[in-house]
Structure 1
Amino acid sequence: LRFAERSLATMPVPFETLIPYGIMIAMFGVTGTGLHVIKGIQNGGKKPRWGLDQWDRVMMDRDRRLTGDLRGQVGNHEAPPGFELNNPWRLEKRIS
């Protein structure tokens, strides 16, 4: 009886059982890094914005129409040509 207890206590864990855990940890790391990179590309390399209100959304839409990028900003004191016709409001067709 003592021999059986001693042999079970000193039995090593086969390394083959740890391979799936290593694969799972690696895949979580790959997907997390991929999501971080994609979010950084979408934000133009800037940190993501939190707690956006309506004013922030309107200004981000204006910046997108001015620069073509949601997070881009320009320092020009005049709008580019054609921006006066670039209205975000959509008109409804008249009922007649």
Structure 2
Amino acid sequence: MSDLATVLDLRGLHAEALALVRRAVDLSRSAGHPDQHVLLGNMAGILLHTGRLEDSVRFYLEALGLARQAGDQEAVDQIHLGLQEVKKRDQERKEKEEAAQK
């Protein structure tokens, strides 16, 4: 489900991707899936692509904690990249707002 959501997200079908990854996250939480941090990171990325930066950060941080607990350094690195992208997009948004006010 999460992989399909990622493909949908890459194709610009963000709403469909978000619905699918949300279902995958819910199922992983109820089952206590060991790779829950990966699913949460995927959800955070999709939220980032929809412009929901605050929600994205929340899920990235949750994923980060679980990735560290799991000892998954590759996921930790990917989550940090996602958080950097959130910061970049937030800065770009602020600059656009400032320019529009001038």
Normalised by the size of structure 2, how large is the TM-score? 0.29
Higher CA-based Rg: 1
Higher helix share: 2
Normalised by the size of structure 1, how large is the TM-score? 0.30
**Higher relative contact order at CA 8 Å, sep ≥6: structure 1 or structure 2?**
2
